[in-house]
Structure 1
């Protein structure tokens, strides 16, 4: 039986090679595209098509992600994906991409249905076949349903991009059943999986850049439902820093009292570390603390895994061991943050389930407000 299988396999391989050869002769342009796609090589100029968001306004990071997908799709035929029945909410639909379904295999939008585990497993299989860069979306809280598939993708070292939206209690009235709390920690615990939580449009662009460049590992994007402020990159650091996992978004400055005039960079007395939608809150707190004469650095840390891959010298540059006053702000469980805030630091996290309320109300009442950040910051110095 097994000897026959070997012979049958060899025969089928020759038949396949002949089929490919005939296809290339008959459809030269399509054949070339197919060869380039299956080679695993990315188009040479694909990064040029990433949106610069030059005239962008504040938007949800899920919306920014959708813009990135649709900016790249016309130039990257290998990019294909969909959602577990939440395409409109996840912003995963490729405009004009058409539905991939029986009898219509040219489509690029896959409707997985309310089957998160099946979606995750399918994405892994598509990646293992080669040629494609598959992505799939759902609410972050529903990543629980597909965790075994995510783990297998990480174990198999395949490229899959998970688009997880509605990433915190900021999603609002859907309440605790839909509000992820422990999910950042749960996903960060999977080896070889990069979990990226971008703070604004520009970090979303960089998150997608990293996800596409990670050819042998899966990436999970954690994106907001609610709009987030657009960080002024002419004033603060470039979002390119995301590529290293964490970067100094706003440096500490000396302030001349009582005039409140900035005198230039100075050694930080306090470091605020934040991810995603909480980064803008950290920047707001920094402004107040600087006015009080407290030199405050803000570090955006969208991806722990990328940061841990950096040389120790870089990590020490971002989080100097000599500065023990550190406050981490993230709308998820505290688990794991101790390694970054240290024994003398503190966290504003969420070690409880959320609440059914408008997103801004839920965040404010659960401690993610300016007054609480200021109070906890002052207590550290």
Structure 2
């Protein structure tokens, strides 16, 4: 085993979209685990939109990554040294390893996984945080009912595809929004959406709204919010009375800084937003999935059989090499990935 590890740190805070110079690849000695810790050789690491928010020095639900600090994120890998009860060399675990080839981490901060049950990458996607986010947000805050219409943007991503497939299994009409004709085809042919609109084919919210109206002749009962921007502008006037909007993300605004705090003025005015919520009696629920890890067991019980029998399909977008993680992450923020973004390290 090499006695060196590699990691990617935040070299500087981005002004707008992240650029290569905001990241730095470093090499150093592999840490020795302390009592209660395990040393993990990371096989795969996850890339997720929330990481963009961690790059800003802005108030949020979690502290920002400090300058020169390791980029945060989940990883899955093999225990190569253990000083913790219950975990031994050769076990596979998932946890917050960060953008790194190795991590010495508390055994309490990792979850043991069985590589014989499902591919270990599933712990980062369909059976991990993104899958739980989609399932929990839909079932808890979307409160779906048979015959209703659901719209979800980023429909081929790990969250959106989970939302659409679970909703479809419950008897809803499912309409996806994605970036590009190929992704829309994937949404319908692979993930089973009833319809999917390519948001890049529409110049503004008004034209997208017209297309959505045709795709949702009975209006929209649930909008699972992953995107913000012109998609939210297009959807909002089509929401039915007593509609529900689980708010998961706002990727269209992340590169504006401050998690969208400085989004384009007038893109969606607060008075327009709040009046629509008021007069249509909408339920809008923001949620952070890290507050609901206790539901992971319920999620696995509900969804794992659906994955096993093919009712839930999986799509992964795997990039080779830690050094390529920044480029893959920048692509993710502009919709350049197809499926769950993962980096292979070994």
TM over 0.5: no
**TM, length-normalised to structure 2:** 0.28
Higher percent of residues as helix: 1
Higher percent of residues as strand: 2
Higher RCO structure, 1 or 2 (CA under 8 Å, sep 6+): 2
**TM, length-normalised to structure 1:** 0.26
